[in-house]
Amino acid sequence: MLEELKEKVFRANLKLVEYGLVVLTWGNVSEIDRDKGLFVIKPSGVPYEKMTAEDMVVMDLNGNRVEGRLNPSSDTPTHLELYRHFPDIGGIVHTHSNWACSWAQAGRDVPAYGTTHADFANGAVPCARGLTQEEVESAYEQNTGKVIIEEFGKRGISAKEIPAVLVHRHGPFTWGSDAFKAVENALILEEVCKMASRTEQIAAMDPASRIGIEQYLLDKHYQRKHGKNAYYGQSK
């Protein structure tokens, strides 16, 4: 069942290792087949070097394991909530990458300080609130997804225009049109978190420093790559 998708999700998970976004068994990638109402996700706690495409787990949108001999990622309920709420999402990534987690642990949004960020997201990457004790003790992973959805709703921002979020004291989640795009966005998020950290460090040395991107410049860079009349790259 979904053999091609299992192979794709397996390879996307290995990209996390290649890009240095995970260590040990941390992190997970999934992708959904909207027509079938099923998604494929990494198994829980399996070392990347031992993992195979056959180990990928097929889930339905009710949270049932449809195929797979191993338990799915413990973050599966978070993926499920996001797939249910955001119909444009085709793939999801969760990591504990160093720079993104540092911003999450600080409880800070990642500001758009330059055009690198603007090429990726149409504004700051939000940091959602931490979960309450009740939310952690009742349905932790599902409530993590609900907190992300709550944050986007509260701020009136689009998951299509901001393909990433931080969860306070936890870490980053990214998404995209498929598993590989979600991985690409996880890599970009890590880089813009690193750049933002260094920008603030350098700016702190000089009170005359001016950081932050003008709205017109952010709009230009985001729209030329993602807008209706985008012209970045090659036409298909």
Active site residue 55: no
CATH number of 3-226: 3.40.225.10
Provide, rounded to the nearest whole percent, the portion of the chain with pLDDT above 70.
100
pTM as predicted: 0.94
Active site residue 140: no
Q: Where are the domains of the chain?
A: 3-226
The residue to which tokens 């996390």 are assigned: 16
List the Cα angle 85/184/27 in 5-degree steps.
Answer: 70
Given a cut of 70, whether residue 231 has pLDDT beyond it is: yes
**Helix (H) or strand (E) run with residue 171 in it:** strand 171-176
For residues 182-200, average pLDDT: 98
What integer best gives the mean pLDDT of the chain? 96
- Which one is catalytic: 33, 60, 119, 219? 119
